[in-house]
Amino acid sequence: MNDQYSVLGEAPNTSQLKSLASNQPHITIEGLNAGYGKMEILHEVNLYAQKGQSLCLIGPNGAGKSTILHSIYGFTNIFNGKISIEGKDVTNFSPAEKLKSVGVAYILQDNSVFPDMTVEENLLMGGYIKENVSESYEEAEKIFEKYDRLKQRRNQPAKVLSGGERRLLEISRALVMKPSVLLVDEPSIGLEPRYIDMVFEILGDLQKNENKTIVLVEQNAKKGLEFADIGYVLTSGKVVLAGKGDDLLADPNVGRLFLGG
């Protein structure tokens, strides 16, 4: 561990981590060593999140935050350890298998919408994996009922959307598959402040009203920890601290290292 992070103290043990998830984890990661190619990025990572809970990963650039999301989704090489969701071992499932069997959605960022396709077509792309196309239409209709901003523009090309509306479309597209877990990497990146609040409101709504389990990475650690029930601090591929979001916000070392305080 880098010296500056040693002030964070001893790494949390698994029983502490489990209790943050009320000992009823929906997502469980145990002893995970994972990376890209032969390179190991994550070392002995444990993580637990309860159903309907939000967990925010914070830490310096290159710590492995996105790699945790990639591992849950199925984009990394897993050398050791286990990932389970709803009690099912999904360690070696492909992203498509995970989406179908336990409902894991990864919300892509940075302009992943197709600019020349309409808003509706973009939304329906979210259901590409569904065998029954009419279900995608039904889900898309529900999303339009919920988000009038998208409904008003359903037949317009996605390129006319504002940055915030585009992020809304990216999130909504993942919802077409009715996932139980949302993996969200830096939802606020590149957005104006008013849109950032909108995105967190939408995530909060999905968590509270639809009981989605959310694992997010947020560069804006203050926003992320204010939003999330629990936070994990990651440095050099290891979990070095974990706690309730509010407790981490109040921790002076976390403040100095990650909150610019």
Ligand X SMILES: Nc1ncnc2c1ncn2[C@@H]1O[C@H](COP(=O)(O)OP(=O)(O)OP(=O)(O)O)[C@@H](O)[C@H]1O
Nearer to ligand X, 112 or 118 (CB): 112
Work out whether 61 is an interface residue with ligand X (CB under 6 A): yes
d(CA 41, CA 64): 6
DSSP 178: -
Q: Which does 176 bind (CB under 5 to 8 A by kind): Mg ion, ligand X, none?
A: none
Task: Calculate the alpha carbon distances from 250 to 147, 156, 220, 258 in Å.
Answer: 35, 45, 15, 12
Query: Rule CB under 6 A: which of 66-95 touch ligand X?
Result: 66-67
Single out the residue of 19, 36, 115, 256 in contact with ligand X (rule: CB under 6 A): 36
Nearer to Mg ion, 9 or 62 (CB): 62
Work out whether 25 is an interface residue with ligand X (CB under 6 A): no
Nearer to Mg ion, 119 or 184 (CB): 184
Single out the residue of 29, 41, 45, 58 in contact with ligand X (rule: CB under 6 A): 41
| Cα dihedral 206, 209, 215, 220 in deg (nearest 10) | 70
Q: How far is the CB of 186 from Mg ion (least distance, A)?
A: 7
Nearer to ligand X, 81 or 127 (CB): 81
Structure tokens at 238: 């290891």
Nearer to Mg ion, 66 or 91 (CB): 66
DSSP 85: E
Question: Residues near 80 by Cβ (< 8 Å), separated by ≥ 6?
Answer: 31, 32, 33
d(CA 64, CA 35): 9
Q: Which does 61 bind (CB under 5 to 8 A by kind): Mg ion, ligand X, none?
A: ligand X
Q: How far is the CB of 215 from ligand X (least distance, A)?
A: 13
Work out whether 66 is an interface residue with Mg ion (CB under 5 A): yes
d(CA 73, CA 69): 6
Work out whether 63 is an interface residue with ligand X (CB under 6 A): yes
Work out whether 65 is an interface residue with ligand X (CB under 6 A): yes
Structure tokens at 152: 């008003």
Report the 3 state secondary structure along 135-148: HHHHHHHHHHHHCH
Q: Which does 128 bind (CB under 5 to 8 A by kind): ligand X, Mg ion, none?
A: none
Residue nearest to Mg ion (CB): 66
Q: Which of 254, 241, 176, 234 is nearest to 60 (CA)?
A: 234
Work out whether 64 is an interface residue with ligand X (CB under 6 A): yes
Chain positions contacting ligand X, by CB under 6 A: 36, 41, 59, 61-67
